[in-house]
Amino acid sequence: MLTIAVLGTLDTKGLEHAFVADCIRQAGHQPLLIDVGSYDPPTIVPDCSRAEVIQDGPMQAEQPSGTNTDRGQAIAAMVQAAPKFLARLANQGRIHGIISLGGSGGTAIGTAAMRALPMGFPKVMVSTVAGGDVSRYVDIADIVMFPSIVDVAGLNRVSRGVFARAAAAVCGMAVANIDLKEESHSQPLIVASMFGNTTGCVEQARNLLEQAGYEVLVFHATGVGGRTMESLIDAGLVSGVLDVTTTEWADELVGGILGAGPHRLEAAARRGIPAVVAPGCLDMVNFGERNSVPHKFSGRRFYQHNPQITLMRTTPEECNRLGEILASKVNLSVGPITVLIPKRAISIVSAIGQPFHDPQADESLFTAIKRNLRKDIVCEELDCEINDAMFAERCVERLLTNIG
């Protein structure tokens, strides 16, 4: 029997959470009802009271409660307290999954608690906002957002089905985790960054690294992908980093939609994790559909990657700055690191005869990297394209040497 945390504002949504708890019991598991409400008393008896939860927050005994409580302050207090409370339960092995139901306020509290839990820990949020942009709720966590379809307000023919399926999902995820624990995880981990335009390189490198006895986790360089990879590196879970697709910095600098924030490329450097870094896909900035590109970029060179993604070529000036940024991040390294530069193309579309071929911009990027890189850091230029077998093989050779 596994224990599933059922977290919610039990003053306003007690009936709904009680229904979910019953579904969990019927599945053969134990629910743990946790109240994070702040107004009226809970309408059902919780296993963990709001007073217990708030003790982990900054207000502690000064718990906001009652109908005169400012709603924003109440939610803010629980958003800070609930993550610490749930993380402690998980660390103690008292819970094996979590589910919550809510509108925007309940979703803010529920997902804050879920983001504090480790990757792989089952997390299901049934929410009225699940059909829109949920990036601010999910961030880089593996939270399953379940659209509530109707408001989380009572039980009816629609909500019963949604809640029951969500309860079954979190129970199934928890059971799957038990089965997965029986698998061997003895292979050391390597993480790699990839884009469609560097798939050839990463796939070849992955095969070689697996032959060498490593397990390779590949992350799509879409902003969230880069930040997720950085979080795993920062957690000390990996033995090496193959960061050949650093394109997220182009979006961060120029204003595209796939930026990964100002700390991209810092985790491996700061923790001394052996790494290989390349300027893959720094020739492009990502936007959505063609009509979504800001007017200030009129006259620039574009390539329609697909109907939903428009690529814009970086200029020599932007490439110079990108080279400075990449070098500055690599210069933070306290461990073995190598920079590899594929002179003939940094993406499929920057090769000779392709729409983003621009030798001046590429040379501006390469020169800035070499000029600003710390003198004790190895930087190699290879006379090939980034997706050539020669480049992938050199990436693997250098990474294994750094690890060794």
Which residue intervals of 1-58 are DSSP H helices?
14-26, 50-54
- Mutual angle of helices 316-330 and 359-372, in 10-degree steps: 30
The amino acid that residue 149 corresponds to is I
Rounded Cα distance between 298 and 25, Å, is 59
What is the pLDDT at residue 362?
98
Q: Give the torsion through C-alpha atoms of 389, 217, 247, 337, to 10 deg.
A: -70
The parts of the chain modelled with pLDDT lower than 50 are: 60-64
Complete domains list, the chain, with CATH: 3-180 (3.40.50.12020), 189-403 (3.40.50.12030)
What is the pLDDT at residue 186?
73
- Nearest of 307, 259, 264, 261 to residue 286 by alpha carbon: 259
DSSP state of 291: G
DSSP state of 334: -
Provide the token pair at 13: 């949504």
The amino acid that residue 352 corresponds to is I
What is the pLDDT at residue 6?
98
- Nearest of 356, 360, 357 to residue 319 by alpha carbon: 360
Helix, coil or strand: residue 355: coil
DSSP string, 120-187: TS-EEEEETTTTS--HHHHTTS--EEEE-SS-SSS--HHHHHHHHHHHHHHHHHHHHHHHHTTS---S
What's the Cα-to-Cα distance from 182 to each of 4, 44, 119, 151, 179, rounded to whole Å?
Answer: 21, 38, 18, 40, 6
Burial 318-351 (b: 16+ CB within 10 A, else e): bbbbbbbbbbebbeebebbbbbbbbbbbbbbbbb
Contact 250, 285 (CB under 8 A): yes
Query: What is this structure's pTM?
Result: 0.80
- Nearest of 90, 7, 85, 87 to residue 46 by alpha carbon: 7
Provide the token pair at 132: 């829109």
Helix, coil or strand: residue 231: helix
Rounded Cα distance between 359 and 363, Å, is 6
What is the pLDDT at residue 181?
64
CA 58 from centre of chain: 27
What is the pLDDT at residue 38?
85
